[in-house]
DNA sequence: ACAACGATACCCT
DNA sequence: GGGTATCGTTGTT
């Protein structure tokens, strides 16, 4: 697996649906305290808009909880739900409350560690959902507000070449978002077509 | 101080 | 596909 460059501030400083689409096929990597690598390929994301999106946590403006959505693009927004955690990355620009939810990852590195963290040996159930992947990677609200640009412990990297995506036939599908009751008609969920690692 | 509620997932069927 | 455990955030007393 050839990794490309770390994703830049500029990458995240775009509309959340653009970022969500382009994140498919990139790599999410967590380095443990002893330097081991956990993570894999991002195969499913959802965009949450700053305006006109009733499902977005930023819909009622800035609060203590969603502060990281309004931080610099590339900032991690981690929130708790149902006694679990979900991770997002802030997009566009500071003071604009938009983000991309990471929904599913294809496990590639640190299978042993992630299985232990998930208390789960079935690979298909390791990172197949936003809360699952956070548990597998050891991400919680202590990571909220982390600036991904320049963070040593948590890294997002591109594929080696943008052409590589085309050559390996990675195609991105799009549809309505999952697990919410409003704004489900908006085509803001993105996923790798044909992937067996999606949340649903 | 407290109760309701989720951008969930698990454990059944 | 349905019921429910579980807990931080939020809005209401």
Q: In this predicted model, what pLDDT tens digit does every residue of A25-65 receive, in sequence order?
A: 999 999 998 999 999 999 999 999 999 999 999 988 898 88
Q: Would you say the C-beta of A33 is within 7 Å of strand C?
A: no
What's the whole-model pTM score?
0.94
Q: Which helix (H) or strand (E) holds A156?
A: strand A154-159
Give the CA-to-C1' distance from A97 to C12 in angstroms.
26
Closest CA to A42 of A29, A58, A57: A29
Question: Looking at A18-27, A33-42, A153-162, A184-193, which range is the least confident one?
Answer: A153-162
Mean pLDDT of chain A: 91
Q: Would you say the C-beta of A200 is within 7 Å of strand C?
A: no
Structure tokens at A71: 């931080």
Structure tokens at A88: 């997002």
Cα torsion A115, A121, A123, A125: sign: negative
Give the pairing type, strands A172-175 and A76-81: unpaired
* pLDDT(A87) > 60: yes
Chain B nucleotides reached by a protein CB under 7 Å: 6-10
* pLDDT(A169) > 70: no
**Residues constituting chain A:** 200
Is A138:A84 a contact under the CB 8 Å cutoff? no
Q: Rounded to the nearest 10 degrees, how much is the dihedral formed by the CA atoms of A9, A154, A25, A198?
A: -130
Is A125:A112 a contact under the CB 8 Å cutoff? no
Q: Tell me, what's the pLDDT at A167? A: 46
């Amino acid at each position: 697996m050839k990794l490309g460059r770390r994703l830049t501030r500029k990458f995240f400083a775009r509309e959340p649906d653009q970022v969500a689409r382009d994140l498919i096929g990139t790599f999410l990597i967590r380095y443990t305290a002893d330097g081991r690598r956990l993570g894999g390929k991002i195969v499913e994301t959802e965009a949450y808009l700053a305006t006109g999106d009733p499902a977005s946590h930023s819909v009622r403006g800035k609060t203590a909880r969603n502060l990281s959505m309004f931080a610099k693009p590339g900032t991690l927004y981690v929130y708790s739900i149902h006694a679990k955690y979900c991770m997002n990355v802030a997009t566009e620009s500071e003071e604009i409350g938009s983000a991309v939810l990471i929904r599913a990852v294809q496990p590639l590195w640190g299978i042993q560690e992630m299985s232990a963290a998930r208390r789960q040996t079935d690979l298909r159930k390791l990172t197949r959902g936003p809360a699952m992947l956070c548990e597998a990677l050891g991400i919680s609200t202590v990571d909220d507000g982390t600036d991904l640009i320049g963070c040593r412990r948590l890294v997002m990297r591109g594929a080696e070449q943008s052409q590589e995506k085309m050559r390996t036939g990675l195609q991105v599908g799009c549809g309505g978002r999952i697990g919410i009751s409003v704004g489900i008609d908006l085509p803001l969920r993105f996923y790798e077509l044909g992937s067996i690692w999606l949340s649903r």
